[in-house]
Amino acid sequence: MKILDVLQPEAILPELKSQTKKEVLEELSAPVAQLAQVDPAALVRVLLERERLGSTGIGGGIGIPHGKLPNLDQLMIGFGLSRKGVDFESLDGAPTRLFFLLVTPENSTGLHLKLLARISRILKNEPFKERLLQATSREQIYGVIKEEDEEF
């Protein structure tokens, strides 16, 4: 499965305004919840519960908040870019700037893990990360992800 199989352009936020972890989760959740037709507050609750187990800020400026939501029909992804960076309690303590939000139906463990692994793998590519950080619009971000998605 490719990222763009589940990432819709409307769920790409090129200018996150949030200053805190909770605000980032709320901002990222809004378009995803709307597209999935689920309650945004319920989505944020699931993500915050997951964060209590350990930060999804994996270091290197990357955060991959994720969770499972009942009544969700299909896997959904959102993307957000913070120009300044946010304290996301990252493993390396560095500000987080690139966010991939992943939400899956409660019973889809295998798909969830495969997509998490795919996102983690492509984010190890420094030129890809730099192109994402330089992108200034939803369309540019979509194009950068599309290029990388086709290579993997």
Contact (CB, 8 A) for 1 and 114: yes
Element (H, E) at 13: strand 7-13
Q: Please provide the size of the chain in residues.
A: 152
Q: Which amino acids are annotated catalytic? A: 66
135: left (phi over 0), alpha (psi -120 to 50) or beta: beta
Nearest partner of 65 among 47, 49, 82, judged by Cα: 47
Residue holding tokens 């500000």? 95
Nearest partner of 84 among 140, 18, 26, judged by Cα: 18
